[in-house]
Amino acid sequence: MTETSPVVRWSSEAMQRRLRRRHTAERRFQLLGLAAIGVALFALVTLLGSIFANGWSAFVRTRIALEVYFDPAVVGPVVEASPAERSARASEADWAALVREALSRQFPDVSGHRELRELMGLVSVGARSELRGRLLDDPALVGRTETVWVPAASDVDAVAKGQVPRDAEADGARLSAQQLVWVAALEERGRLGRSFDWSFLTSGDSREAELAGVGGAIAGSLLTLIVTLAVAFPLGVAAAVYLEEFAPHNRWTDLIEVNINNLAAVPSIVFGLLGLAVFLNTMQLPRSAPIVGGLTLALMTLPTIIIAGRSAIQAVPPSIREAARGLGASPLQVVAHHVLPLALPGILTGTIIGMARALGETAPLLMIGMVAFVVDVPRGFTDAATALPVQIYLWADTPERGFVEKVSGAIMVLLAFLVLMNGTAIWLRQKFEKRW
């Protein structure tokens, strides 16, 4: 006879102890998960809060109101001149003299070369371009006195925003005691104001912090992404369709699949070296151009699009293919009319995620020369350009105090682009996804 095992009752004390231990372990695991989520959220909020606290002021510019007399002896006769002659004469005019004269009228007690130099230090060198632009827009200003709001210097901007102390003897002070007195006087007279700085989003880079903007970097990133999308998307989709629908299953296709998966994990700087060797040294394409950056990033994005495309094609139910073939559709018609439309949401989602990764890459662009100091906003695919991550890198390496807020402001713009692209991917998936 075989002995029967004793019956364990759920109401027994031993079983109750086991249940209590299991429930305690489950609650402990849940608490650890919640703690991990809490730590991650705290780190995220701290990071975003720090970026926003330092970067919001980059979108605000401090300006000084000057009563500028457009002296005909300085700017010359431009009223009856042609636009080309007007621009040439305006380029030769001594705009610094007009700014100096306007400041001297604000503070008539200032005398001496040193004090005048300190007084001119309150105003950015961009004030000259501001006056020149006003005159070119309205030549009738010649011989008249006009109130013009010109950009303040970076140190004055930092004082107005409370980023540096107003005590000339304190640590971190950027202005002299006399300059702080002049700034206070301008504030009392209502001659110092702040407004939203659209030029931060539209202008290019500058060696003066108060004039630097991300407009050139935004344009360079957009042109680069256009090239990347135009090259990587059709090639990636075509490769995914071939490998999944038409390629024979043999050692060669297995080798191709393994290499594609490995390329997706290759460090991005390797693609930068490849772009440097192929597109610059071999094909002699223009250095620091969006077309080179786009081709390089396309090489990096291509494996991601292929893998996402194959996964989306695999998710299409086999019954769709069988029904199409049963109705007499050719293999190409099955793919073009049925498989691709149904797999499109997943393909687009993977493409946008790959493009978002390409937008944040810096190392490949550094290798192909898109680290150049570019003042003008690029207008074509072969113009010299930079990108948002590279611009952030350049400003972060600048020791001037005024570029600290510019770095955080540029990061905010980059994060906005990434959130927009990821949001677009989610919207596309929800709009086109089919439920089976």
Domain ranges of the chain: 61-197, 215-432
CATH of 215-432, one of 2.60.120.620, 3.20.20.70, 1.10.3720.10, 3.40.50.720: 1.10.3720.10
What is the pLDDT at residue 43? 94
Angle between the N-to-C axes of helices 388-396 and 403-432, in degrees from 0 to 180, rounded to the nearest 10:
160
pTM of the model: 0.84
pLDDT of residue 9: 60
Nearest-10 Cα torsion for 408, 412, 418, 420: -170
Sign of the C-alpha dihedral computed for residues 304, 219, 158 and 161 taken in this order: negative
The rounded distance, in Å, linking the Cα atoms of 434 and 341 is 10
pLDDT at position 78 is: 63
| Residue stretches of the chain with pLDDT short of 50 | 1
Q: Tell which residue, 253, 238, 234, 230, has the closest CA to residue 332.
A: 238
194: part of which helix (H) or strand (E)?
strand 192-196
User: What is residue 3's predicted lDDT score, i.e. its pLDDT?
Assistant: 54
Q: Would you state the pLDDT for residue 30? A: 93
Instruction: Please report the pLDDT score of residue 8 as a whole number.
Output: 53
What's the burial of 80, exposed, middle or buried (CB within 10 Å: 0-12/13-18/19+)? Answer: exposed
pLDDT given for residue 172 in this prediction? 76
